[in-house]
Amino acid sequence: MKTDKSMLKLRVQIATIGPVGRLPVAPGTWGSALAVIIWWLFLANLAILQFWLIIIMVLIIAVWASHGAEHLLGSDARSIIIDEVVGQWIALAFCSTHIMLVVSAFFIFRLFDIWKPFPIKQSQNIRGGLGVVIDDVLAGAYSALVLVIIQRVWIG
């Protein structure tokens, strides 16, 4: 039984990104900001295939951690923010490192994550870890599409 409790605690730590998810104000926004910083410092210059492999690995971990964390924190608790990291990275996947595009990626992702247009809101009906993560994956995909269009129009 002790192993189960320690494993649940590990899943909570991963899902909340340690103390970041426990910040009292806007933990999801802080999670997205952390994702942008990590991307900027370590991931922005990776080959696209390498970056997508990292996104897929973190996505799998996010579903697993979120599913376990829900047992202690409740269904899709505010403090579970690893889903914001995955969604934000998807938003940044085709983004250049131009500072205005990176800032735009942050705000566009937050907009879609909060607004939840179809089918993002409906995806939250999925139970478990996948239900926690899928809305942010979709918000990230919507954001990526908008950013690709912005880059095509702006840069040409």
Q: What is the pLDDT of residues 10-32, one digit of tens each?
A: 999 999 999 999 999 999 999 99
What pLDDT does residue 75 have? 87
Contact 25, 81 (CB under 8 A): no
Q: What is the pLDDT of residues 52-104, one digit of tens each?
A: 999 999 999 999 999 999 989 988 899 999 999 999 999 999 999 999 999 99
Q: Find where tokens 């922005």 sit.
A: 44
Contact 132, 80 (CB under 8 A): yes
pTM equals 0.95
**CA torsion 78→13→58→127, rounded to 10°?**
-50
Q: How many CB atoms lie within 10 A of CB 132?
A: 25
DSSP code, position 124? T
